[in-house]
Amino acid sequence: MNLAIPFHLENLIGGNFIGPLSGQFINNINPATAEVYGQIPNSNEQDVQLAVNAAQKALEEWSNTPAEKKFIVLNRIAELIDEHAETFALAETNDQGKPLWLSKKVDIYRAAANFRFFATGALHFSSESHAMENTAINYTLRQPVGVVGCISPWNLPLYLFTWKIAPALAAGNCVIAKPSEITPVTAFLLGKICAEAGLPAGVLNILHGDGPSCGEAIVKHPGIKAISFTGSTRAGEQIARIAAPMFKKLSLELGGKNPNIIFADCNWEKMMETTMRSSFSNQGQICLCGSRILIEASVYEKFKTEFIQRTRSLTIGDPLEDSSQQGAIVSKVHFDKIMNCIALAKEEGGTILAGGNAVQLQGRCANGYFIEPTIIEGLGPDCKTNTEEIFGPVVTLQLFTTIEEALQLANATSYGLASTIWTQDISKANIVASKIEAGIVWVNCWLQRDLRTPFGGVKNSGVGREGGWEAMKFFTEAKNICVEF
């Protein structure tokens, strides 16, 4: 199997790698060096049509493939990702800017885990029956939706791409998938290993391109019956606008502005160490990062002093170096957005306690997009800095004195994705957890993931849940059959 990365990436349609019909390409840039190191197809509705044709052709066979055979193929994909983990990790880092050690430890490891998990899902998925005493029995068939669309973002490229594709395939669907145009390479490599693993042609079609041209063409196509989307709330709105009147099944995993609530009685060292990760992992570009840190007044100064000290000691460097704790921001556009957010925070009256500046590295990464991890204080809950998603290495500090005040601050945004609570008092944790407006609550931990649990947000953070049976249910249609005795 050839996993060399060509300068021009191609779409995977019906088992063949082909260029875009329009001949249009987009530059692919390494954010750590600012170098154009490849081009990807900017696919449009014609390419989507080809992919839908291929998927429809493959659907009959794949949807009727025995679960055990699906398990073998999906599990083999997981094994092949593991076998080529080094190649995948390097590709992810060059595309995205995250430290190579992080790509290996988190992104690629988890991409394989997604396939392994949903491979067994194919074996274990079952449906309900409801008996009516001496009258009738209902049984529910859960049939594949058909051809489905999966669209994913750039922050955890292969990790989130596979989180959608694996359950869609396990449930017996054929897939048209689009990775972010900013981080396309690992999706391209995944296409290469799928054929090797025995996935029949046309079952998974991977199209590259930007949102308006390729993404919207997928959402609009009447032959694509469900859309699973992860990305910004803005794009989610646009997708809902198109797909809702077509009555497509929709799963929307959108933005966040997550609170990290620290009570004085927490396990301090564990909280400090985890808060560093929940603030700045992947340069703060994880939808689950706790970007609003809420601290009980009695420990505010202690927290502030230690947090500033630890933040200033983070090593920003070449993502290929093991010593780099912070890598590059994903693109120039996103770099500019984050720097504008920092400028806005100052205009709003915020004080920069640490960071706040772009970083110019020496050597290979001299032109890359690097920003210091940044801490801001002195802003109230209603300003833009504390209500709008920044999605970078930028956190704010706010203090509270009572549980009620902590909850008020925590719930003071239009988002509701994730939250973290730090306390040794289990009753307090349970009360706050039950009242917080979020789909995911971590108590005394962060990013602890069990793939069986429902994953998703409330309010403007999305609609629907992924993970475990939730994903298998999303990718199937329930049909109830009632048989009278």
Query: One symbol per residue from 124 to 153: x for binding ligand NAD (CB under 6 A), - otherwise; what is it?
Result: ---------------------------xxx
Instruction: Report phi then psi at 164, rounded to 5.
Output: -95, -45
Q: Which two tokens stand for residue 29?
A: 């840039």
Q: Which is nearer to ligand NAD, 291 or 398 (CB)?
A: 291
Which range of residues in 108-116, 119-127, 224-232, 379-387 is near ligand NAD by CB under 6 A? Answer: 224-232
Using the structure block, give the residue that is written with the tokens 């274990």: 124
Q: Which two tokens stand for residue 181?
A: 């145009």
β-partners of residue 16 are 13
Positions in 11-50 near ligand NAD (CB under 6 A): none
Q: Of residues 238, 387, 411, 414, which one binds ligand NAD by CB under 6 A?
A: 238
Question: Phi/psi zone of residue 139: left (φ > 0), alpha (ψ -120 to 50 degrees), beta?
Answer: beta
Shortest distance in whole angstroms from residue 239 CB to ligand NAD:
5
Residue 228 interacts with ligand NAD (CB under 6 A): yes or no: no
Shortest distance in whole angstroms from residue 41 CB to ligand NAD:
13
DSSP per-residue letters across 62-113? HHTS-HHHHHHHHHHHHHHHHHTHHHHHHHHHHHH---HHHIIIIIIHHHHH
Evaluate whether 74 touches 122 at the Cβ level (below 8 Å): yes
Which range of residues in 26-34, 252-260, 290-298, 321-329 is near ligand NAD by CB under 6 A? Answer: 252-260
Q: Which is nearer to ligand NAD, 94 or 155 (CB)?
A: 155
Active site residue ranges: 253, 287
Shortest distance in whole angstroms from residue 479 CB to ligand NAD:
29
Shortest distance in whole angstroms from residue 104 CB to ligand NAD:
20
* Continuous segment of H or E residues that includes residue 166: helix 157-170
How large is the C-alpha radius of gyration of the chain?
A: 23
Shortest distance in whole angstroms from residue 158 CB to ligand NAD:
13
Q: Which is nearer to ligand NAD, 233 or 423 (CB)?
A: 233
Which range of residues in 32-40, 108-116, 121-129, 457-465 is near ligand NAD by CB under 6 A? Answer: 457-465
Which range of residues in 78-86, 113-121, 174-182, 428-436 is near ligand NAD by CB under 6 A? Answer: 174-182
Q: Which is nearer to ligand NAD, 50 or 418 (CB)?
A: 418
Shortest distance in whole angstroms from residue 241 CB to ligand NAD:
9
Q: Of residues 146, 202, 215, 467, which one binds ligand NAD by CB under 6 A?
A: 215
**Is 236 strand, coil or helix?**
helix
Q: Is 349 exposed, middle or buried (0-12, 13-18, 19+ CB in 10 A)?
A: exposed
Q: How distant, in Å, are the alpha carbons of 233, 261, 357 from that of 416?
A: 12, 14, 29
Q: Of residues 54, 235, 314, 436, which one binds ligand NAD by CB under 6 A?
A: 235
Residue 92 interacts with ligand NAD (CB under 6 A): yes or no: no
Query: One symbol per residue from 263 to 292: x for binding ligand NAD (CB under 6 A), - otherwise; what is it?
Result: ------------------------x-----
Residues touching ligand NAD, count (CB under 6 A): 32
Contacts of 129 (CB under 8 A, 6+ apart): 137, 138, 139, 140
Which range of residues in 18-26, 44-52, 254-262, 426-434 is near ligand NAD by CB under 6 A? Answer: 254-262
β-partners of residue 354 are 375
Residue 256 interacts with ligand NAD (CB under 6 A): yes or no: yes
d(Cα 329, Cα 275) in Å, to the nearest integer?
20
How open is the CA angle 411-413-416, to the nearest 5 degrees? 70
- What amino acid occupies position 203? V
Shortest distance in whole angstroms from residue 71 CB to ligand NAD:
26
Query: One symbol per residue from 395 to 434: x for binding ligand NAD (CB under 6 A), - otherwise; what is it?
Result: ----------------------x-----------------
Positions in 292-351 near ligand NAD (CB under 6 A): none
Q: Which is nearer to ligand NAD, 157 or 373 (CB)?
A: 157
If you count DSSP H runs as helices and E runs as strands, how many of each does the chain have, helices first? 16, 24
Shortest distance in whole angstroms from residue 195 CB to ligand NAD:
23
d(Cα 225, Cα 236) in Å, to the nearest integer?
17
Shortest distance in whole angstroms from residue 425 CB to ligand NAD:
29
Which range of residues in 22-30, 231-239, 272-280, 369-377 is near ligand NAD by CB under 6 A? Answer: 231-239
Residue 165 interacts with ligand NAD (CB under 6 A): yes or no: no
How open is the CA angle 200-202-207, to the nearest 5 degrees? 130
Evaluate whether 315 touches 323 at the Cβ level (below 8 Å): yes
Evaluate whether 363 touches 355 at the Cβ level (below 8 Å): no
Evaluate whether 255 touches 417 at the Cβ level (below 8 Å): yes
Q: Of residues 31, 144, 167, 231, which one binds ligand NAD by CB under 6 A?
A: 231
**Is 270 strand, coil or helix?**
helix
Using the structure block, give the residue that is written with the tokens 């430290």: 99
Q: Which two tokens stand for residue 432?
A: 């706050």
Point out which residues bind ligand NAD (CB under 6 A): 151-155, 160, 178, 180-181, 210-212, 215-216, 219, 230-232, 235, 238-239, 253-256, 287, 389, 391, 417, 457, 461-462
